[in-house]
Amino acid sequence: MNQELHSMVKQLNHPFITETEVIAWSCPVPLFGNIVNAKIATLGLNPSNREFVDQDGIELSGSERRFQTLSSLGLNCWSNVKPKHINLILEDCEDYFNRNPYDAWFKKLDHIISGTSMSYYFPSGQACHLDLIPFATSRKWSELSSIQQDLLLTSSSEYFASILNSSKIELLILNGRTVVNSLQKMSDVIFTEIHMPDWTLPRKESEGVSGYAYIGVINSIAGMPLKKSITILGYNHNIQSSFGVTKNVQKSIRDWVTEKTKEIFHEKK
């Protein structure tokens, strides 16, 4: 992982970083949690800017800091990074859920996988979180142009394949339709889409926003073969940001993820 992470850090010197509004002083985040023991991983798009700044946009520091930055490492630029700096970045990633995790985001996602008896948090540690792109951006994904999004996905595909190949992950759980669509762009996955009436989000002036589940298998990323097939489960509502995701909808998604996960691991025995 150190070699892959060093390549990600070097990428921060590339001109595309400015073009895609990546927070250039923030380190790459290849993973959240202990991937060594993880059998399942939730999947998002890219790290939130809130992993590096507070609500006023000021860099987190001291006990509030979650990940390394140029200033925390005492560097002027990423060209000066040394193996000791890479080790510090990786330590923060692996120990993320034991320090100061962004619980406002991760607790809801951990609830979705809680029926599997696996969790990000101690004492389980058998789940981790991955993003398709390891770089945090100053603006939300939906605010980036399609050109910026495609550039980030293309530049990150090799890293994502490498992370999966170096892990024991057998199942990826996708949080939201945008993640589903982005993984389709990046890989060979073909999804079965299932309408889930119990996942409909209520609306006062309409029939509501329909819910859909996705099941698939991934064997390659951007033409790069994976060492093993990985099963994919997904749902179209973003648990944290889709308007009107009720507790009943969250419970129904959790129950579906639990049931399918048990089936998948039973078949793999």
pLDDT of 266? 78
- Provide the mean pLDDT of the chain: 94
Q: pLDDT confidence of 190, banded at 50, 70, 90?
A: very high
pTM of the model: 0.95
Q: pLDDT confidence of 181, banded at 50, 70, 90?
A: very high
Q: For residues 266 and 121, give the distance between their C-alpha atoms in angstroms, rounded to a whole number.
A: 24
Q: Which residues contact 192 (CB under 8 A, 6 or more apart)?
A: 214, 215, 216
Q: For residues 157 and 152, give the distance between their C-alpha atoms in angstroms, rounded to a whole number.
A: 9
Res 87 pLDDT > 90: yes
Q: pLDDT confidence of 203, banded at 50, 70, 90?
A: confident
pLDDT of 214? 98
H or E element that contains 32? none
Q: What percent of the chain has pLDDT over 90?
A: 87
pLDDT of 269? 64
Res 206 pLDDT > 90: no
Q: What digits encode the pLDDT tens for the residues 50-84?
A: 999 999 999 999 999 999 999 999 999 999 999 99
Structure tokens at 224: 């790069």
Mean pLDDT of 124-133: 92
Mean pLDDT of 106-134: 93
SS3 215: strand
Return the residue matching tokens 């790290």.
Answer: 47
46 and 133 Cβ atoms separated by less than 8 Å: yes
Q: Give how far Cα 85 sits from Cα of 8, 14, 17, 20, 65, Å.
A: 13, 19, 20, 24, 16
Domain covering 29-50+100-268, topology: Uracil-DNA Glycosylase, subunit E (3.40.470)
Q: pLDDT confidence of 202, banded at 50, 70, 90?
A: confident
Q: Which residues contact 227 (CB under 8 A, 6 or more apart)?
A: 165
Cα 18 off chain centre by: 22
Q: pLDDT confidence of 155, banded at 50, 70, 90?
A: very high
Domain range summary for the chain, segments of one domain joined by + = 29-50+100-268
Dihedral over alpha carbons 128, 131, 137, 142 (to 10 degrees): -120
Q: For residues 96 and 175, give the distance between their C-alpha atoms in angstroms, rounded to a whole number.
A: 19
pLDDT of 236? 97
Q: For residues 243 and 239, give the distance between their C-alpha atoms in angstroms, rounded to a whole number.
A: 9
Q: What digits encode the pLDDT tens for the residues 240-256?
A: 888 889 999 999 999 99
Burial (CB count within 10 angstroms: exposed 0-12, middle 13-18, buried 19+), residue 265: middle
Mean pLDDT of 259-265: 94
131 and 156 Cβ atoms separated by less than 8 Å: no
